[in-house]
Structure 1
Amino acid sequence: MTVPLPTTQFTPLVRTGFSDPAAWEALRTVVETPNEYEFLAHVDYVDDPAYRDLPPERILELTPDGHPIVIVADDAALGSAEMPLLVIDLRAERGRTVRVIAERLWSIENNLSISNMDFAEFAGAAGEDGIFRGF
């Protein structure tokens, strides 16, 4: 049985993909690098093999209340140059997902954390492949 995700100060970014440690480190570097206006995502990493390969539905069940989203670094994100992280809505459309390239994670995380925008706005701006790359 998998334990619930820990309570975090910032938005949880859960690692479920463990096949490529170098890709995980590269993703962290991108997430921690501010954009040209000094914006960056405020996340707490949940890096525990206990969450290896968990599907989004299970992550949703294990996430405590308190944040508008949970972010997942799965094998799909870690296996692509754009690093399209899976973002799961925890509020209005609980369970709805969209992918966001790591370079733009700050946009969705910042705006949803302060209720400046709705999840649907980002999901609606995603490309045909379901990935948000910016407005």
Structure 2
Amino acid sequence: MASIRHEIAINASPHHVWEVIRDIGAVHERLLPGRVAGTRIEGVHRFLTFPDGHVIRELIISVDDDTRRLAYSVAEGARPRLDYHHACFEVRADADHARLIWTTDLLPDSAAPEVRIRTQYGIAEMKQAIEASGEPG
């Protein structure tokens, strides 16, 4: 099983970064505006709609305010197709800023290079969106 981990420093308070991450229904507005066109919540499922109309269905596993950890799994619509997916975001305090950690476990291993590139770009876009929201570290 492939495991991908990215960490990035964000010039915002850990509290603010966590508020953005845990706002599971506003990915298109707060976390990945432009990359995600719409977000819909139905029970424990989150549906992300992309600008090309593609939809991913995710299972929200845990939103833990005490540890600032969000766990989810892509249940349907992954590109490339995945046999297994589990990911989590963690927000930590790091000196005078926040640190966002995104860990993804997936199968097949052959999908890892493409997923690694997408998550690398994705976490950089998240940093940009969170810092642009105006809440300094």
TM-score if structure 1 supplies the norm length?
0.30
Structure index of larger Rg: 2
**Which has a greater percent of helix?**
1
**Which has a greater percent of strand?**
2
Structure with bigger RCO (C-alpha 8 Å, 6+ apart): 2
